[in-house]
A and B are shown apart, each in its own frame.
Chain A
């Protein structure tokens, strides 16, 4: 079983190359963040992965809440205290820089 120490992370602790991502890696980050991943979490993570594969970018949090099927209130419950960064980490993307 791999651990976080086996992964190639950037200086912020995010996955260095989004192409290395796998669902097992998301589980490792979830442990680090103290989040137990449910189907609703996966719905968000999978949506972000799909968008990233299409556009090469992380969608804005507004887009995630509008198009993943998981609204704002629930997003903040699923990924408490800073959802945007946590979603990016779980989806294997770098630290997000957007304003919205």
Chain B
């Protein structure tokens, strides 16, 4: 079992499908092993907690050498759509839940979900635009206060 006081603060700043999972997996793994978890969503990471965008996150192969696909092909119409649907299949095969269900799991397990006030203002979002799991909208200073003593992971 984990140290009673161990705490993780995970900052999610990216909104592509492949970058949504690392934060969610770590948050969930932390909670499963008894570690307290705070998740802070900012910039493009806001898409992960955005009601309308959450289910439509894309995997974009352009500029990603790990896919083995030449960029000149990766920019073609439909390629991102195809790569996204392949990633969904791969995730399903290893029993990974879709992003909306995953966030709900983390929240039900006691993980706290925070939205960045500055990103909200910049993107003209209101709390109505965000999924129900969001515990509140906070500024960077408030988040750092909450994250005191935590191990911070930036994604």
Using a CB–CB cutoff of 8 Å, the interface residues on chain A facing chain B are 60-63, 65, 71-73, 76, 80-86, 99-100
- 7 inter-chain pairs at a CB distance below 8 angstroms, sorted by A residue, are A60-B95, A63-B95, A76-B110, A80-B34, A81-B34, A82-B33, A100-B29
State the main secondary structure of chain A at its contact with B.
helix
A62 touches B97 (CB 8 A): yes
Chain B residues with CB below 8 A from A72, complex form: 105, 108-109
Q: Which of A73, A81, A86 contacts B4 (CB 8 A)?
A: A81
Using a CB–CB cutoff of 8 Å, the interface residues on chain B facing chain A are 1-2, 4, 25, 28-29, 31-35, 94-97, 105, 108-110
Chain A residues with CB below 8 A from B94, complex form: 100
For residue A77, which residue of chain B has the nearest CB?
A: B110
A100 touches B1 (CB 8 A): no
State the main secondary structure of chain B at its contact with A.
loop
B33 touches A84 (CB 8 A): yes
Chain A residues with CB below 8 A from B96, complex form: 100
Closest-CB distance, A57 to chain B (whole angstroms): 12
